[in-house]
Homo-oligomer: A and B are copies of this chain.
Amino acid sequence: MRKVSSGGITAIYPGSFDPITNGHLDVIKRCCNLFEKVIVAVLLNAAKTPLFSTAERVRMLREATGHLKNVSVETFEGLLVDYARRKRARVIVRGIRAVSDYEYELQMALMNRRLDDSIETVFMMPAESYSYLSSRLVKEVFLLGGSVNGLVPPTVETALAKKIKR
C-alpha cells in the first residue's frame, strides 16, 4: 500500500456493525486510502434488537480501527443524508458483496441522492475472501459452536465468547 496523501473529503461508512467483521474492516482500510477522513457511523435503530449494545459496538469498532489514523467512530439517528450534511461529509461508502446486496443498495443510494444530490454514494468491494461474510452469519456460526477465528477482529471474538455462553 502506498502512503495516504491528504485530501479534503470526509466519507461516512454507515452500518449496524453488530458486530464488525473483517469484511467491514477491509472496506474501512480501503476507504482510508481514498478519503481524508472516514467516519464509521453506527446506526441507532430502535426497531431492531442487536446482540451487542451500541456502546459495545462502538468500543469494538474503536479497538479494531485504532491503528487507522483518519478513522473515527460515531453513532447517528435519523436520515443518513442529514447526518452526512451535519458532518460535512460528501461521500457515503457502501461495501457490496452479492448481486442481491447490490440491488437494495442501489435503491437506497437513489433515494439518498434524491434527498440530497450533493452527497454521493460510492460502492467498494471487500477482499473476495470476505465475500460471504456478514454479521448475521458470524453470530449464527458462533452460536452453533463454530469458530469465527479469522472472520472477525480479536476483540469481537472475545466479546462473542462473553456474550454467548455456549
Where the two chains meet, the residues of A that have a C-beta atom closer than 8 Å to any C-beta of B are 1-2, 5-9, 30, 33-34, 36, 78-79, 81-82, 90-91, 96, 98-100, 102-104, 106-111, 113-115, 117-118, 120-125, 127-129, 131-132, 134, 137, 141, 144-147, 151
Contacts and interface: CB of A to CB of B under 8 A. Distances in A.
- Copies of chain A in the complex: 6
Contacts of A96: 123
Contact of A128 (B79, B129, B137, B145): B129
A78 to B, nearest CB: 5
What's the dominant secondary structure at chain A's contact region?
mixed
B79 A145 contact: yes
A34 B91 CA distance: 8
